[in-house]
């Protein structure tokens, strides 16, 4: 059986970390592509030097050409610019939309059968744009958000209870931003609902901290945003696809009537395997959760309307 090929578009903080993780997990050969000359080559070479220590047989190559996407089974996209001082949200949307358009067209041309995982922010709008630009079936284009938000929620629960993080499962839905919906009712610790182990006050605190987790890291780093856990999250999704694991995880998926939403990407639990997003799972939401989900969807909708306007311009 031929080795899988994992293409990483964007060799920045997240891209470089993903290259290391993919090699460490022996997911296949890793090709990293970036417009910055020397950066994808340098990072690939650096990891290559340490291959005997991990150890791994994965090969790592860097390129400045999108043609290197050829034959990729999975493409993970982090290409984009971070928001800089003085830049409005619209300015960022504009720049990153342009990048997603270029990258999307290149994927369509060079890797027409790939499964795409989008990480670039603002996530819900960028993954929507990627699917439109490539014209790929929606089950082959997913956004990385829920895996990370759920992992952050689970980490805080494990810390609060002083238990192993391995035993905590959590589910965060909705858009990737302030309006995300961490579902305390669906979080469990060794099979025990967390609501039986932590007070409502503590859970509310964890909930707020989950929604602000990215901001907390930015405030500490000062010159960049979180990259280790986003990289782990995207690689978790790639592994589910490549190994046909049929993992149940939360990601930005295009909804087709589920949760009363059609045509938008939003964070929902799905089954991820060789078919990409094989199924969107519909969990029951109580009235408060549903209201929060709807608020989150409204936020996503305004971003998507912006993308639609750009696409038809
Ligand atoms: N093609 C390929 N690479 C590009 C392009 C492009 N058109 N435009 C920019 N890049 C590259 C940059 O050169 C940079 O190396 O994308 C990389 C982005 O890396 P970082 O700035 O380090 O950002 P990172 O922390 O990796 O985050 C990437 O993911 O979570 C989101 O908000 C985050 O949108 C950001 C993205």
* Mean pLDDT score, 65-82: 96
Provide the total of helices (H) and of strands (E) in the chain, helices listed first: 9, 14
What is the predicted pLDDT for the residue at 92? 84
Find the 101 Cα to ligand 1 centroid distance in Å: 14
Residues in CB range of 53: below 8 A, 6 or more apart: none
First to last CA, the chain: 45
Question: Is residue 49 annotated as a catalytic residue, yes or no?
Answer: no
* Residue range 243-267, pLDDT digits in tens: 999 999 999 999 999 999 999 999 9
Give the length of the chain: 313
* Residue range 144-189, pLDDT digits in tens: 999 999 999 999 999 999 999 999 999 999 988 788 898 999 999 9
Q: Which of 8, 78, 143 to mutate to test the pocket of ligand 1 (most atoms within 8 A of CB)?
A: 78
Do 5-143 and 146-312 share a fold? Answer: no
Instruction: Name residue, tokens 């997240």.
Output: 14
Give CA–CA dist 12/32, Å, rounded.
10
* Residue range 183-241, pLDDT digits in tens: 999 999 999 999 999 999 999 999 999 999 998 998 999 888 899 999 999 999 999 99
Model confidence at 2: pLDDT above 80: yes
Give CA–CA dist 137/125, Å, rounded.
17
Which has the closest alpha carbon to 15: 37, 29, 33? 33
Fold of the domain built from segment(s) 5-143: Rossmann fold (3.40.50)
Locate the domains of the chain by residue range: 5-143, 146-312
Give CA–CA dist 209/121, Å, rounded.
20
Task: Indicate the class that CATH gives domain 146-312.
Answer: alpha beta
Kind of pairing between the strands at 115-118 and 141-143: parallel
Would the CB of 121 count as within 6 Å of ligand 1? Answer: yes
Average pLDDT, the chain: 95
- Model pTM greater than 0.85? yes
- For residue 174, give the DSSP letter: B
H or E element at residue 298:
helix 287-312
């Amino acid at each position: 059986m031929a080795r899988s090929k994992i293409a990483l578009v964007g060799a920045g903080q997240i891209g470089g970390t993903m290259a290391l993780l993919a090699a460490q997990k022996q997911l296949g050969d890793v090709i990293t592509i970036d417009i910055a000359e020397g950066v994808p080559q340098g990072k690939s070479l650096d990891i290559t030097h340490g291959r005997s220590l991990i150890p791994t047989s994965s090969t790592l190559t860097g390129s400045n050409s999108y043609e290197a996407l050829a034959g990729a089974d999975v493409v993970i996209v982090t290409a984009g610019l971070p928001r800089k001082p003085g830049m409005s949200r619209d300015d960022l949307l504009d720049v990153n939309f342009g990048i997603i358009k270029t990258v999307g067209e290149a994927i369509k041309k060079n890797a027409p059968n790939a499964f795409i995982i989008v990480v670039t922010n603002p996530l819900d709008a960028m993954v929507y744009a990627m699917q439109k630009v490539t014209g790929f079936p929606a089950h082959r284009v997913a956004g990385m958000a829920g895996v990370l938000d759920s992992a952050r929620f689970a980490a805080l629960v494990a810390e609060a209870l002083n238990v192993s993080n391995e035993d905590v499962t959590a589910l965060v839905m909705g858009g990737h931003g302030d309006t995300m919906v961490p579902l305390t009712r669906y979080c469990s610790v060794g099979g025990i609902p967390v609501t039986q182990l932590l007070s409502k006050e503590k859970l509310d605190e964890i909930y707020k901290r989950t929604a602000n987790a990215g901001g907390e890291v930015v405030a500490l780093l000062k010159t960049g945003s979180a990259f280790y856990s986003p990289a782990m999250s995207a690689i978790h999704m790639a592994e589910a696809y490549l190994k046909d694991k049929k993992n149940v995880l939360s990601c930005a998926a295009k909804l087709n009537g589920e949760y009363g939403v059609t045509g938008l990407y939003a964070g929902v639990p799905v089954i991820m395997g060789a078919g990409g997003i094989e199924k969107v799972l519909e969990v029951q939401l109580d009235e408060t959760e549903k209201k929060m989900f709807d608020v989150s969807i409204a936020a996503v909708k305004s971003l998507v309307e912006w993308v639609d306007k750009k696409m038809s311009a």
